[in-house]
Structure 1
Amino acid sequence: MLVVKVPAIYLSILMVSRVIAKENPYNGSFNKLESAIVVSQLVMAQQAEYFKKLISVAKESKNCINLRGSSYECPYPFTQVVDECFYVSKSLLKWEEARQFCQGMGGDLAIPRNLYALKAHLIEIKAPRAVWIGGTYLGPEEGWRWINGASVNEEEWSPKQPSGARKNLANCLNIRRDRHPVLDDVLCGNKLRFVCQYSL
């Protein structure tokens, strides 16, 4: 509930108008009109204060939504997918080249929190079946890792994948829009389109 304080100047006007009304020998329509004007000014002042507070509350609510990350705009040319910002390239590059490209845009190869939201986006924009994302094979000891160091979830691999790791090949991670689960491995020297991610 909003509590609106009436500015002191309007209270002063009301008091002065009451004094004038008492001293004025003509207690007719002039006094009624004057009183009506003062009351109107008070009502308008209250409404103005109320709307100021309402606008302030609305701005604070918007800021809260932004802080939760559920309502913001991704910088161009990135596109918002749930609460993440992605850019799907038009060009074909090797995995390392793709990563360099993404870093040049102020981001990196994608490490999506929700692989299936990204998959849905790739299907919607008719992207190629396979695109690079930010994971690579670091050898038998460390295995498959995202570029932030986190382990790749084994449950997200497509059937019979990863295949290259068994042959100890230098493989990198791609997401397949035509498979479920979605992760696949390909030689890092292959040229694919890729997904960059911008972190807010």
Structure 2
Amino acid sequence: MESGGIYENVKHRDVQKTTKPQSHSQDEGKDLKHIGSRCLVLITVSLALICVLLLVFIILQQTTITAERDLIKSYKSTVEEFNQTINRYKNLCGPVCYFIANELKSWSDSRQYCRDHGADLVIINTEEKQRFISSYMKDVDRAWIGLSDREQEGNMTWVNNSTLNQGFWMEGEPNNHGGVDEDCIEMRLSKDKLNNWNDLPCSIQRKGICEK
């Protein structure tokens, strides 16, 4: 009887020894499976983020390329339009060039500067030329032109002694403001591109627009 009990106890212990490692192995398998699932999720999320970032990068690149193309196209269009304007003007008036005195001077000194460089203060006798000069001199605020009534008050003449036929005056000009003789004419280029002439005392310092 006692030996039988001992045998059963030994057998029971053997069963316990064989079943415990199996349970532990199953737990480890579950843990590995769980870790594998988490890794798969992380990899999937990472790939998705990479795809999103690549898509954003491609969109930004495409937008940048499109903007650059539009800018280049606009620049080429502006240059072409300017060249066409130059050519139209040359065909109308013959070969001509314009430049601005590099220093502020009185009307007389500005004219002398132009003459020293083989030119004279600009003569503007058509609306087309007035608009052209106003656009051409867009980097200058105020500048002398070749018009004055220094020889005879109220009789506006150009530097080539021709009489003024068409003026492009600002409102209220010319006026000899404050009773001061304002015998020389400037263009106020920051104002209206058509009507921007103003009379001033000839001693005022301005840059001159030269025509050659």
CA contact (8 A) 2:183 2:200 kept: yes
Q: Which has the higher strand share?
A: 1
CA contact (8 A) 2:122 2:209 kept: yes
Q: Which moved more, 1:176-185 or 1:102-111?
A: 176-185
Q: Which residue of 1 aligns with 2:160?
A: 148
Where in structure 2 are the equivalents of 1:36-185 lying within 5 Å?
69-70=90-91, 84-113=96-125, 114-123=129-138, 126-128=139-141, 130-137=142-149, 138-140=151-153, 143-153=155-165, 155-164=167-176, 167=179, 169-177=181-189, 178-179=191-192, 180-185=194-199
Give secondary structure in 2 for the equivalent of 1:139. coil
Q: Which residue of 2 aligns with 1:194?
A: 208
Name the CA distance, whole Å, in 1 between partners of 2:178 and 2:161.
Answer: 21
Shift of 1:194: 1.0
**C-alpha RMSD of matched pairs (Å):** 3.0
Give secondary structure in 2 for the equivalent of 1:70. helix
Q: Tell me the alpha carbon deviations over residues 53-112 of structure 1, each in whole angstroms, 9 at most, x when there is no partner.
A: xxxxxxxxxxxxx9x9539xxxxxxxxx99531101221000100111100000111113
Percent identical pairs in the alignment equals: 20
In structure 2, the CA distance between the partners of 1:105 and 1:155, relative to structure 1 (3 Å rule), is closer
Shift of 1:173: 1.0
Give the aligned length: 119
Give secondary structure in 1 for the equivalent of 2:97. strand
In structure 2, the CA distance between the partners of 1:69 and 1:122, relative to structure 1 (3 Å rule), is closer
Output the TM-score relative to the length of structure 1. 0.52
Q: Which runs of 5+ in 1 are unaligned?
A: 1-65, 72-80
Larger Rg: 2
Q: Which has the higher helix share?
A: 2
CA contact (8 A) 2:176 2:200 kept: yes
Q: Which runs of 5+ in 2 are unaligned?
A: 1-86
In structure 2, the CA distance between the partners of 1:131 and 1:160, relative to structure 1 (3 Å rule), is same
Output the TM-score relative to the length of structure 2. 0.49
| Residue type at the aligned position of 1:106 | G
Name the CA distance, whole Å, in 1 between partners of 2:147 and 2:178.
Answer: 17
Give secondary structure in 2 for the equivalent of 1:117. helix
Give secondary structure in 2 for the equivalent of 1:133. strand
| Residue type at the aligned position of 2:106 | K
